[in-house]
Structure 1
């Protein structure tokens, strides 16, 4: 769950570019709506049951969720997205809406015992309340003047991301039976770090690190929000803090000052006090434990935080696990000294489990619709160690979760969720993928995490209803069920059935441990007593050993204990709430709020896409993020993200001229249609540059500060097709498009020569021809582009993809007539290879550009599209070849904060060698370029903002021609 916002470090608003690909549904989907007093619920036709339920749920929680912040939001549009297999949701005011992705997660440590849509409603609606509360003081004035984009930027600038998400997690914890604040796994890494002596400072804990694993800002935020509410015993304390901050968002560190005003502590002091409080409480709990003795079989290679999750025992006795971490992408490996890699899966839809028997591994992985970003799939993937083949089981356009293979390797059981929010248990043949059986589920209970018994005749599964969660054994032959643990709010998971014992994870005593039910005696036992958490039991086929995960300071290890029932402890329930859980529940006083939602039937009407096409959300004056343009205008985007319109008046800060502009992108059909138009005054100063004179002799000269002025009308229209082709561990994209443009220029003049305004005399018997300008007349052009990339997925520490390829092809010409003639072909190809050490990257590019340059008055040169050797100014040639070799590597992870101003996370460097060759065959002229150099950059956070900025310097030494150059580099914001 996320707040989909753009974060800014000033009053600058973000100018959305027309070339973005919007997250859109297929046009075949018809939409319905329900209108209530405070909500408009949009949903695909046929999704009425959940539409009605969410209309009632949101109206029911409307006032209760807003009470502690004291701001009731206005009417909100909520879109129920049923085409995605992603379990998520977001709130945005660009334009104002919330979207619920309705496929429930299979991971019990994420969904708990709650209904998925109820969890989304509780969490996401709190973000809506936050925005209503943020629209105050200076923020409100800015909203009236500039619209939602500026309000979003100022609101995010004045309150850190941890507050937005931490406050929402606290709300879901207070109002539901199983919000994340009640799930120990949510705080597992945070708790481990603190008790292991890793009491990082506030900046590192919030802004995170490449050196150590730091849980995300949801975790920090929940504990910060909970602690201040505990310290002050005031459920409305954060409403008071944010009121101060959002009244004056332009004041640096307004949020920290507001906390100081209410608690006499700045944010860093509040954090230190919170850590002290948590450490004391967690240590007191730990001191009461007698820990299980186990054998650690992981044998780690280094200190980098790495999880070895879901251990499974193969037929040959090998233990495998899924390795992932701060420096590792997800891979299946053997648990031995060498950590032998077995297979690298694609982009995993993590259901909180893995299944392997014999020589076969089964898991779930995302599948992608090539064009529609909202539509994706959850597939069953399998890999055979015997045949070394990968399988897709059951089809490429399915919505399966929690797949498990039978011990005899002939069947797979999985949960299928359809687009109507209904789940079914399905059995498929392996490897054919034929559906053998589908079990009825008329009451639509939520099934998750199925697994076979050791004799392949029974299935153990989690079953969730409005009464809570139950642990059930199902007979495969007739579908009959036996409830082993009754419905309730105990958040157990990962069931494993072996002989007469049913193993499962449970946090019932405050820490996740492994428990077992004796199916003969009905007695329950505690198998492990872990320091931080024990999970995911796996039993060897001979029944002698239990492998499982145990949390350590450097991640989840695989450990083993004997299968000895005499070492198990008879279960006694000692319900231990999580820190701040009871406090939040008591302060809100409505834990059962979602148990009493009314069942009003609201009228359902058709939603017209055309009527909602124009939906302005930003207006007035704003400056684009490149600081090159100031605008007065309106930006519109419809709720279903098919159409974006941008119109207004534009002032170019660099040229100091103005323009009227309009741009429309329509993305509701397969090809994206882009249209833009502008009427502008233009003014450009030319200084030192390389040109061709009328005798076609290439020389570098310094002109006499030539200034060009003209009036320009521009019209461009095109289509493009962006495709997502990812089907493995490589992220694969392909995009191609074509556009036609007309540029009409009048009143073209320069400040030196009024006879021929593109040819400038130098006073030396020569004149210089500016070929990349249109003077009096029309340039009618065509542009065709193809780009593609195939990049191996990356770990957080990777700077570049370890393996990958990318290319970009451009073709410009003037086939439709007009007053100018030009043609250009450009190609750039990039190759990424592994470096000598982990996270090092050897990469390079090869580029070629062919441009039509002739001694004719109507010759026009299109802008350069390929990289030029670093250290030199770009010159234009009929043929130009470029080649580059780079070696990129991390140097240091300092984690140094210079007060609240700058936080330095990583220093990295790039060594390069560039080569270029330009040739003008028609004029018998050529020139070679050869440079080497070094780039050094740092990844930093500025003014405690979570988005990361990379800045640096480049030193280039030109070997031929000889030149040296020092440049400052400003990179991109990484969200």
Structure 2
């Protein structure tokens, strides 16, 4: 919920506030260029801020938000606070969030083309009914102690309080329930979403509640989204529509200081928290159907050591399979399987989607490519990989193409184009150079997904209609004509694959994602699988099909012979899918909300980027010995200005200070300025008391560049800061001292490059980073400090082991130590500060245990890991003629934990073994001593 001043691709590593998709998000600082112009719809309920050209989506969002604000049937309370909603249309990421500090929401408007994960509703509409539910949560959780924290310290501490009192599963479960209640779809009706817990139950996985809350680094554990939906839906089913409003009101007020949510459950459900969750799971277990035997054969052995997913199999001939493999221990890569162990073809480039197509020895897929400077702007580019040579070429650049396929003759690629304006079209491209051959017409304003060639003049595609229904459509390339192969329904369908006259595909017609086939000539539908966890990415050849089956051990490649297992299936137009589990409260007839809400036309005005630049949202104290600090924090809604105004008290010097720092990210460079006025400093000079006030001022710039491409995350940042210090003498002796002022410059450059990390990787399997900084006086004094450091990451003996080589060099002026020491010494020694120093370190990191164990819903241990290290530091005399080595070795042990099922903290301890004497601390070579390693900041500034 706090703003992060980082490039957007770091969303892969961060936990966001309330986000819509399964991908985490971050509040991007300075992510849009100044050339992007904005408009607004400003009402008493919401301010929708949007780029020019997004008027219709903004109007629909405002209409739905006003209608939801009036809806009292399933409300969490009656409190209403106005919120800012920003529509972001430049990114290819499909997401959304609501955050406090400041109170705002952002919608990432490019829809996901994975029909089974997020459904087929209009994406902006689905975002609205999901994200505004989070707004209603934040509005109505301002009670009791939570409200007091918000009043005393602002929105960030309000967020801390309500997150401590209400579990994350409720936030997302309640929002998913809302999207299900207010539409004919929503994830509460999607089998892929609902099958996750039945997959665990069917395979006898009996995980503890804390493991279900916190996840695992080895086993598949559903996220808090499906967990929350099952709990919320059960609570409403058994205890009525007002149950959760009562529970959350008392919990957010901290009625019962410890475990307030659990206590509120006990009060209003009449059973304790553990019983409530057990009864909820039992409720769904009794509903789920048994799975019949379907004659399926696993193609590859099941991996029991860690989660492994084998996706999008293609039968390439002679019993060979091409597929994508992702695991908790390996980076995503393409594999070919013939006999024995699958052979790796190549690691996949960084991608947002696992989809790829294969034909005639070539793989085509879409890869993620961010813009160099602007974090809200990124692209989806096409790559073509030759499986024989392992060589890959970039087919398109700076495009937004998705779900490509290669024509039978290999000359053409078809891909779905999504534009920032929200239009969707099928593009035919040259497979040689990626040039556009033809754009197929889309007069129905459809969204095409997963196109597949039937022949050189026809293709079949899953099609989303504007009202959220889906069908398979056949497109004639020469004419652009579209005819339906299956009737439109609210069931999701996708992943078609053509074999002779038959199109094989996955659909949720029966409440499960099953494999079907349809004849292109007669349009008769047959069902091939029936129940049992979901079947995806079907590929047919001769008399058998291969597909990925969703299980508790990951997606398994399964082969099934056709024949008696295929049965006719009769599908009617507008047929509603069967429900896996009943949805509470659907009798209130709100499933037509999206269609029945009248369109209100709101007035639109220009929104200037300088609007409310100073937007203070939080204020709080911070203490780090010897300084006490009280700060006001601010961010404007477009997140281009970050502010901190503060008071500072130094208890050692007994001084007071006032300061301001501002960082502006709305232009190509970040611009920063800061000033601090310190009062009543004093010192004794030649037996006289000198008193003065000190004004420190800084101005600078830096340019953060995201050069990520291919399989590497790459970031470059460089800049300069100018510092000015003025000292103003005060007190009775002020005329006895000269006024002191001086300036200095700081220049820096940093570079980092690394491959993607799998879930179990402690550090990347390959990567490096380097930073260089030079500070030097400009006026008054002579002095400088040069600092260079870097790290190299290499693979260890096993896939989840890491070797880290580190080095740092520092040199300063010998006449005056004008700048503070920035070199951390060899572990186990005092930090020395000589005119020249360097240090090298060798580290070997490895996991020791993956316990997945916790106690009392307080602390959960995901991983215990170790590190063996060797440090060599060398310090030099001022004339550089003498030097001394400081060497140490030892071991470190780290515990990767979650506290209160939400907050990730790593702590540990270190055993140091000195190989040299430490003269300052009187430690001798051979001594061993023990250190506790704590997080740098448990509560960030």
The answer on whether the counterparts of 1:454 and 1:499 sit within 8 Å (CA) in structure 2 is: no
Structure 1 residue 572, shift from structure 2 partner: 5.2
Structure 1 residue 65, shift from structure 2 partner: 7.1
Matches within 5 A, 1:614-625: 614-619=614-619, 622-624=620-622
CA shift in 2, pair 1:278/1:23, >3 Å: farther
- In the alignment, the residues of structure 2 paired with residue 469 and residue 461 of structure 1 have an alpha-carbon distance, to the nearest angstrom, of 7
Matches within 5 A, 1:513-552: 513-540=514-541, 543-552=542-551
Aligned residue for 1:237? 243
Q: Deviations over 1:414-433 (max 9, x none)?
A: 11111111111111010310
Matches within 5 A, 1:665-814: 665-680=663-678, 711-745=693-727, 777-814=740-777
- In the alignment, the residues of structure 1 paired with residue 297 and residue 564 of structure 2 have an alpha-carbon distance, to the nearest angstrom, of 18
Structure 1 residue 628, shift from structure 2 partner: 7.0
CA shift in 2, pair 1:527/1:792, >3 Å: same
The answer on whether the counterparts of 1:123 and 1:172 sit within 8 Å (CA) in structure 2 is: yes
The answer on whether the counterparts of 1:407 and 1:456 sit within 8 Å (CA) in structure 2 is: no
Aligned residue for 1:640? 638
Matches within 5 A, 1:71-150: 71-150=78-157
- In the alignment, the residues of structure 2 paired with residue 498 and residue 321 of structure 1 have an alpha-carbon distance, to the nearest angstrom, of 18
Residue 349, structure 1, aligned to residue 352, structure 2: yes
Aligned length: 900
- In the alignment, the residues of structure 2 paired with residue 832 and residue 224 of structure 1 have an alpha-carbon distance, to the nearest angstrom, of 43
Aligned residue for 1:702? none
Secondary structure of 2:496's partner?
Answer: strand
Aligned residue for 1:691? none
- In the alignment, the residues of structure 2 paired with residue 871 and residue 683 of structure 1 have an alpha-carbon distance, to the nearest angstrom, of 35
Structure 1 residue 652, shift from structure 2 partner: 4.6
- Greater mean alpha carbon deviation, residues 896-905 or residues 782-791: 896-905
- In the alignment, the residues of structure 2 paired with residue 21 and residue 301 of structure 1 have an alpha-carbon distance, to the nearest angstrom, of 38
- In the alignment, the residues of structure 1 paired with residue 905 and residue 787 of structure 2 have an alpha-carbon distance, to the nearest angstrom, of 30
Aligned residue for 1:839? 800
Out of 883, 886, 891, the residue aligned to residue 934 of structure 1 is 891
Aligned residue for 2:424? 423
Structure 1 residue 611, shift from structure 2 partner: 3.0
Structure 1 residue 445, shift from structure 2 partner: 1.5
Secondary structure of 1:314's partner?
Answer: strand
- In the alignment, the residues of structure 2 paired with residue 65 and residue 370 of structure 1 have an alpha-carbon distance, to the nearest angstrom, of 46
Secondary structure of 1:807's partner?
Answer: strand
CA shift in 2, pair 1:671/1:894, >3 Å: same
Aligned residue for 1:593? 593
Secondary structure of 1:867's partner?
Answer: coil
Residue 381, structure 1, aligned to residue 362, structure 2: no
- In the alignment, the residues of structure 2 paired with residue 424 and residue 21 of structure 1 have an alpha-carbon distance, to the nearest angstrom, of 29
CA shift in 2, pair 1:263/1:644, >3 Å: same
The answer on whether the counterparts of 2:3 and 2:28 sit within 8 Å (CA) in structure 1 is: no
> Which segments of 5 or more consecutive residues in structure 1 lack a partner in the other structure?
9-19, 686-706, 755-773
The answer on whether the counterparts of 1:821 and 1:860 sit within 8 Å (CA) in structure 2 is: no
RMSD of equivalent CA atoms? 2.9
The answer on whether the counterparts of 1:330 and 1:344 sit within 8 Å (CA) in structure 2 is: yes
- Greater mean alpha carbon deviation, residues 452-461 or residues 321-330: 452-461
The answer on whether the counterparts of 2:618 and 2:634 sit within 8 Å (CA) in structure 1 is: yes
Aligned residue for 2:844? 887
CA shift in 2, pair 1:388/1:900, >3 Å: closer
The answer on whether the counterparts of 1:460 and 1:497 sit within 8 Å (CA) in structure 2 is: no
Aligned residue for 2:779? 817
- In the alignment, the residues of structure 2 paired with residue 738 and residue 953 of structure 1 have an alpha-carbon distance, to the nearest angstrom, of 37
Matches within 5 A, 1:385-400: 385-395=387-397, 397-400=398-401
Structure 1 residue 141, shift from structure 2 partner: 2.8
CA shift in 2, pair 1:591/1:399, >3 Å: same
Structure 1 residue 231, shift from structure 2 partner: 2.4
CA shift in 2, pair 1:627/1:150, >3 Å: farther
The answer on whether the counterparts of 2:220 and 2:552 sit within 8 Å (CA) in structure 1 is: no
Task: Return the TM-score normalized by structure 1.
Answer: 0.88
The answer on whether the counterparts of 1:29 and 1:44 sit within 8 Å (CA) in structure 2 is: yes
Aligned residue for 2:24? none
Residue 372, structure 1, aligned to residue 335, structure 2: no
- Greater mean alpha carbon deviation, residues 102-111 or residues 333-342: 333-342
CA shift in 2, pair 1:536/1:110, >3 Å: same
Aligned residue for 1:408? 409
Structure 1 residue 202, shift from structure 2 partner: 1.1
CA shift in 2, pair 1:796/1:628, >3 Å: farther
The answer on whether the counterparts of 2:837 and 2:874 sit within 8 Å (CA) in structure 1 is: yes
- In the alignment, the residues of structure 1 paired with residue 446 and residue 2 of structure 2 have an alpha-carbon distance, to the nearest angstrom, of 29
Q: Deviations over 1:191-241 (max 9, x none)?
A: 211221112111110011223121111111111111222221x11211111
Secondary structure of 2:71's partner?
Answer: helix
Out of 876, 881, 900, the residue aligned to residue 857 of structure 2 is 900
- Greater mean alpha carbon deviation, residues 779-788 or residues 710-719: 710-719
Aligned residue for 1:947? 903
CA shift in 2, pair 1:326/1:656, >3 Å: farther
Matches within 5 A, 1:438-453: 438-453=439-454
- In the alignment, the residues of structure 2 paired with residue 450 and residue 835 of structure 1 have an alpha-carbon distance, to the nearest angstrom, of 42
Secondary structure of 2:934's partner?
Answer: strand
- In the alignment, the residues of structure 2 paired with residue 633 and residue 170 of structure 1 have an alpha-carbon distance, to the nearest angstrom, of 39
- Greater mean alpha carbon deviation, residues 260-269 or residues 792-801: 260-269
Residue 248, structure 1, aligned to residue 254, structure 2: yes
Q: Deviations over 1:372-430 (max 9, x none)?
A: 111111222221124432222232x1111111122322111111111111111111010
- In the alignment, the residues of structure 2 paired with residue 75 and residue 502 of structure 1 have an alpha-carbon distance, to the nearest angstrom, of 50
Aligned residue for 2:787? 826
Aligned residue for 1:277? 283
Structure 1 residue 531, shift from structure 2 partner: 2.1
Structure 1 residue 576, shift from structure 2 partner: 6.8
CA shift in 2, pair 1:184/1:919, >3 Å: same
Aligned residue for 2:568? 570
Secondary structure of 1:171's partner?
Answer: helix
Secondary structure of 1:149's partner?
Answer: helix
Structure 1 residue 279, shift from structure 2 partner: 2.3
CA shift in 2, pair 1:472/1:632, >3 Å: same
- In the alignment, the residues of structure 1 paired with residue 259 and residue 891 of structure 2 have an alpha-carbon distance, to the nearest angstrom, of 36
Matches within 5 A, 1:604-623: 604-619=604-619, 622-623=620-621
Structure 1 residue 566, shift from structure 2 partner: 4.0
CA shift in 2, pair 1:5/1:878, >3 Å: closer
CA shift in 2, pair 1:929/1:279, >3 Å: same
Residue 966, structure 1, aligned to residue 930, structure 2: yes
- In the alignment, the residues of structure 1 paired with residue 599 and residue 863 of structure 2 have an alpha-carbon distance, to the nearest angstrom, of 54
Structure 1 residue 585, shift from structure 2 partner: 2.3
CA shift in 2, pair 1:299/1:945, >3 Å: closer
- In the alignment, the residues of structure 2 paired with residue 237 and residue 684 of structure 1 have an alpha-carbon distance, to the nearest angstrom, of 62
The answer on whether the counterparts of 1:185 and 1:512 sit within 8 Å (CA) in structure 2 is: yes
CA shift in 2, pair 1:965/1:585, >3 Å: same
- In the alignment, the residues of structure 1 paired with residue 374 and residue 257 of structure 2 have an alpha-carbon distance, to the nearest angstrom, of 42
Structure 1 residue 354, shift from structure 2 partner: 2.0
Structure 1 residue 329, shift from structure 2 partner: 2.2
- Greater mean alpha carbon deviation, residues 163-172 or residues 544-553: 544-553
Task: Return the TM-score normalized by structure 2.
Answer: 0.91
Secondary structure of 2:195's partner?
Answer: helix
CA shift in 2, pair 1:839/1:95, >3 Å: same
Q: Deviations over 1:294-325 (max 9, x none)?
A: 22112345531111011123367531211112
- In the alignment, the residues of structure 2 paired with residue 302 and residue 23 of structure 1 have an alpha-carbon distance, to the nearest angstrom, of 45
Secondary structure of 2:126's partner?
Answer: helix
CA shift in 2, pair 1:853/1:434, >3 Å: same
